[in-house]
Chain A
Amino acid sequence: MFNLSILFPSVLNGLTTGAVYALIALGLTLIYGVLHIINFAHGAALMVALYGVYWLKTGMGIDPYLALPLMVMAMFALGYGLQRGVINRASHGKDENILLVTLGVSIVMENLALLAFKSDTRTIETAYTLTTVPIDIGIGQAMIALPKLVAFGGAVIASAILILIVTRTDLGRAIRAVAKEKHGAKLMGIDVEHVYAMSFGIGLACLGAAACLLLPAYYVNPQVGGGFVLVAFTIVVLGGMGSFAGALVGGLLIGVVESLGGLYLGESLGQIGIFAIFIVVLLLRPQGLFSGNS
């Protein structure tokens, strides 16, 4: 069974999926790193973004890739508004409240989606859904679906932009300052509430991009976020809470593990590797592979 001609395409397949996982995990880890809360609504927000892309394609005829700037802006606005208008207000400054509020928000989102779209699994058809690109690197040839390749490229670029924002801009400096020392940042004249909301907004904007890259090769139903959020949490734990490099590497690693698991253990057991890694990391290196905030 360990034959290179199928191992290579399977690893490539895993890398392309992993890049999207990484993008979703980046949003999660940003929100955690700054706000120190675990955003339970992350999966539900991804589902909302996927429906957004679905609606733009079926209702307005806008191609998912062209919809990307629109979705990133819309999800940013949703995130900013949610943090300022709902999560921040309802939390009254207590972290455990924030946790419950995000959980509540996710339940509301999922049920609204159920009401609006019912529990049907929906997909979109594009001209390139079935297009494949042959990749040959000597040890084996792989036929990779075009949407997956685009998703890989898009996710890597989006991750790079995110990392640039956090490390090179004034906003990024403010975000890191707030993440390290909230009160000190406030004394320096940083609007902490605004930075919180910006972080949440950027975290959800990642999901907007991820949704545009995912949907041409994936599906959407009201429960779709659940599967991703579990994987994203595993990635964040694996890479180290709040670490961007960790999320990126962790995402790619988890994608490959899942793909190889599916190949050698069967589709139904494929995800077992992810959770095995989750447990092993918690046991042996609870701070994650790339510990500390980047």
Chain B
Amino acid sequence: MSNRRHFLAQSTAAASALAFPMVGGAQPRAIKVGVLHPVTGALAYSGQQCREGALMAIEDINKAGGIKSMGGAKIEALLGDAQSTPQAGTAEIEKMNEAGVSAVVGAFASAICLATTQAAAKYNLPHIVDVGVADQIVERGLKNTFRFGPGYRKCAEIAVANLHVLNTAAGKPARSVMIIHEESLFGTGTANLLARELPGYGYEVKEVIKHANPTRDFNNIVLRMKAVNPDIVIPANYYNEYALLVRTMQQQRVVPKAIYSVLGGAASSYKFVKEFPEAANGIIDCNHWFNPRDKRSAELKKRAEAKGLFFSYEMFMTYTSMRLLADALERAKSADRAAIIAALESSSFSDHIMPYGLTKFVNGQNQGAQPLMTQVSKGDIKVIIPRDYREIDPIFPLKA
């Protein structure tokens, strides 16, 4: 199997290199970059979306003349599959290191990122974390690890503070909360943060329930929800389980005052909104989101749709992470790992579609990174908070 995977990874990389033929005679050597995601297994959908985002960025960078400070060197993707497990992710890092990559962009899930960043640190291999929201990822003092997006602590704090703002403005109809999370690092960590933050604002956390990945039956969880009858349901899980949970709620006729997600796997997903418009309607999410005022985000969305893909957070997070790396390569003027790390440390990358402003890394975390609050409305996803990016006014609560 591993041979076959290896062969696939190699041949895909070769194919992508062929897709961007070098023009002219003396071309600089291509810069090998590891693109590592869980493209098979329980997280396959998200992993494939991430990979697409990375490949679109590489296509754009190479089309625009490659890395100019290195004589127009092209970026060459070495694709890896973490198979939705940390162990497989680590094994891919070993392979990528042997293949001589200059940096790695990946690896979507927190639990996988935690393992791959550490494995890459052994080789001083720069690792840009594209999603991986667990804060432990950037809190272990690893010099090679850089996360462009926000961590789950920031997301949970912003979500709770905004919930309180929305609830207060509506005359405080909501008092109790039920949290449903997936059992790995991302879901458990997010749920713990929420359960700690919410009582401070006067909310009663009635129940915190975890579930495995994959789960194909949410009936028991929804039955408990019926018994507990919370005002607000907060899911923190990946796409398949999120979608099934909300659909089971619909099936069992459970309608809370709000479904208020924090990093919800399907809450701000065009795929979910399109496939289950009724179940998705009104769902609020605090999640990675692009700057809706930036015209380039709409263009990128169109391009994704032209490929028959949904423009999901996985896609634009990895797209931007790859561009962040290209910016660092441009300033490093070298494919040397230490030089790239130094360039990332001093990055002030601002030419991106995210609502983060100027990039500034402290201990590997981008300080400007922030989530936006979105709500599903009329079959579309619109930003409700903060005001600077607001597209529609929030509807809270959903039912009186």
- Is B truly associated with A? yes
A interface with B by C-beta (< 8 Å):
1, 3, 5-6, 9-10, 13, 17, 111, 114-115, 118-121, 123, 130, 132, 143, 145, 217-219, 259, 262-263, 266-268, 270
B227 near A3 (CB under 8 angstroms)?
yes
Contacts of A111 in B (CB 8 A): 1
B223 near A266 (CB under 8 angstroms)?
no
Contacts of B216 in A (CB 8 A): 123, 217-219
Contacts of B226 in A (CB 8 A): 5-6
**Among B40-48, B139-147, B367-375, B387-395, the stretch in contact with A:** B40-48
Nearest residue (CB) in B for A125 is B275
Complexed CA–CA distance, A268 and B251 (Å): 22
Known contacts A5-B226, A6-B227; A263/B240 CB under 8 A: no
A132 near B223 (CB under 8 angstroms)?
no
Question: Interface size on B (CB < 8 Å)?
Answer: 30
Given contacts A121-B44, A121-B240, 5 further A-B contacts (CB under 8 A): A9-B219, A13-B219, A13-B220, A118-B44, A268-B212
B227 near A118 (CB under 8 angstroms)?
no
B223 near A120 (CB under 8 angstroms)?
no
Contacts of B221 in A (CB 8 A): 267
B251 near A6 (CB under 8 angstroms)?
no
Nearest residue (CB) in A for B223 is A6
Contacts of A267 in B (CB 8 A): 209-212, 215, 220-221
Complexed CA–CA distance, A121 and B216 (Å): 11
Contacts of B217 in A (CB 8 A): 13, 17, 217
Contacts of B247 in A (CB 8 A): 130
Contacts of B366 in A (CB 8 A): none
B250 contacts the other chain (CB 8 A): yes
Complexed CA–CA distance, A24 and B185 (Å): 34
B386 contacts the other chain (CB 8 A): no
A143 near B252 (CB under 8 angstroms)?
yes
Known contacts A114-B1, A268-B183; A120/B44 CB under 8 A: yes
Query: How many A-B contacts are there with CB distance less than 8 Å?
Result: 72
Complexed CA–CA distance, A115 and B1 (Å): 8
B118 contacts the other chain (CB 8 A): no
Contact check: which of B220, B240, B253 meets A10 at CB < 8 Å? B220
Contacts of B209 in A (CB 8 A): 266-267
The residues in B between 322 and 369 inclusive whose CB is less than 8 angstroms from any CB of A are none
Complexed CA–CA distance, A224 and B44 (Å): 16
The residues in B between 150 and 172 inclusive whose CB is less than 8 angstroms from any CB of A are none
A263 near B224 (CB under 8 angstroms)?
yes
B220 near A259 (CB under 8 angstroms)?
yes
Contacts of B250 in A (CB 8 A): 130
Nearest residue (CB) in B for A263 is B220
Contacts of B65 in A (CB 8 A): none
B214 near A262 (CB under 8 angstroms)?
no
B190 contacts the other chain (CB 8 A): no
B252 near A132 (CB under 8 angstroms)?
yes
Distance (whole angstroms) from the CB of B267 to the closest CB of chain A:
19
Complexed CA–CA distance, A132 and B212 (Å): 24
A6 near B224 (CB under 8 angstroms)?
yes
Complexed CA–CA distance, A119 and B240 (Å): 15
Complexed CA–CA distance, A213 and B360 (Å): 55
Complexed CA–CA distance, A259 and B251 (Å): 18
The residues in B between 198 and 220 inclusive whose CB is less than 8 angstroms from any CB of A are 209-212, 214-217, 219-220
Contacts of B83 in A (CB 8 A): 119
B211 near A145 (CB under 8 angstroms)?
no
A262 near B220 (CB under 8 angstroms)?
yes
Contacts of A118 in B (CB 8 A): 40, 44
Contacts of A115 in B (CB 8 A): 1, 4
The 5 closest A-B pairs by CB, nearest first: A262-B220, A267-B211, A6-B223, A263-B220, A118-B40
Known contacts A6-B227, A267-B215; A145/B220 CB under 8 A: no
Distance (whole angstroms) from the CB of A69 to the closest CB of chain B:
25
B253 near A143 (CB under 8 angstroms)?
yes
Distance (whole angstroms) from the CB of A150 to the closest CB of chain B:
15
Complexed CA–CA distance, A268 and B221 (Å): 11
Complexed CA–CA distance, A9 and B248 (Å): 13
Distance (whole angstroms) from the CB of A99 to the closest CB of chain B:
26
- A-B pairs with beta carbons under 8 Å apart, 30 shown: A6-B224, A9-B219, A9-B223, A10-B220, A10-B223, A13-B220, A17-B217, A114-B1, A115-B1, A115-B4, A118-B44, A119-B83, A120-B41, A120-B44, A121-B240, A123-B240, A143-B251, A143-B253, A145-B219, A145-B251, A219-B214, A263-B224, A266-B209, A266-B210, A267-B209, A267-B215, A267-B220, A267-B221, A268-B183, A268-B210
Known contacts A6-B226, A121-B214; A270/B220 CB under 8 A: yes
Distance (whole angstroms) from the CB of B389 to the closest CB of chain A:
34
Contacts of A17 in B (CB 8 A): 217
Complexed CA–CA distance, A220 and B252 (Å): 24
Nearest residue (CB) in B for A122 is B44
Contact check: which of B4, B42, B251 meets A132 at CB < 8 Å? B251
Complexed CA–CA distance, A120 and B219 (Å): 23
Contacts of A219 in B (CB 8 A): 214, 216
Residue-by-residue, is B173-191 near A (CB-CB < 8 Å gives 1, otherwise 0)?
Answer: 0000000000100000000
Contacts of A217 in B (CB 8 A): 216-217
Distance (whole angstroms) from the CB of A51 to the closest CB of chain B:
15
Nearest residue (CB) in B for A111 is B1
A121 near B41 (CB under 8 angstroms)?
yes
